[in-house]
Amino acid sequence: MQAFLCLLLRLSERVTRMINEPNKIAMILSGIVSVLLERGHGNIDVSIKRDDKSTTIIIIQRQATYTDTFIEWLKKGLKPRRKGVVEEYYWRLADMNFESDNLNLVGALIDESEVQLKDNVLRIKVARYIG
């Protein structure tokens, strides 16, 4: 009986995570785009690709005139720091109080990131693995 309850608890946690997955993707996207819009730049294209193993978000902003300092700040904030238990803690905190310029939360929700500014085109790619 105890083994069955443990299995049921694990299954329940997995279902809860899967239900929250679209919301987490939306929060990642919102966090990044909000930072870019707050800096006064528009002209943003977004691509989201999902499959059974991951979700990849690519954000391209043309006519981007950011400083090297800002790009380094973005890279640092988007550095992947995802850890299962910590992610759930951050997710609950975010549900209560999410500030759009807090890229630390975004970093806690992703597994990969790339930030590149070349010829006034900013390209941000983040990935989140499923499972």
The model's pLDDT over 57-88, given as tens digits with 9 standing for 90+, comes to: 999 999 999 999 999 999 999 998 887 666 66
Other CB atoms within 10 A of residue 68 CB: 8
> Taking a C-beta distance cutoff of 8 angstroms, is the pair 33, 45 a contact?
no
**DSSP three-state, residue 56:** strand
pTM of the prediction?
0.77
Domains of the chain in sequence order: 14-129 (3.30.565)
The model's pLDDT over 18-63, given as tens digits with 9 standing for 90+, comes to: 557 888 899 899 889 989 988 877 789 999 999 989 999 999 999 9
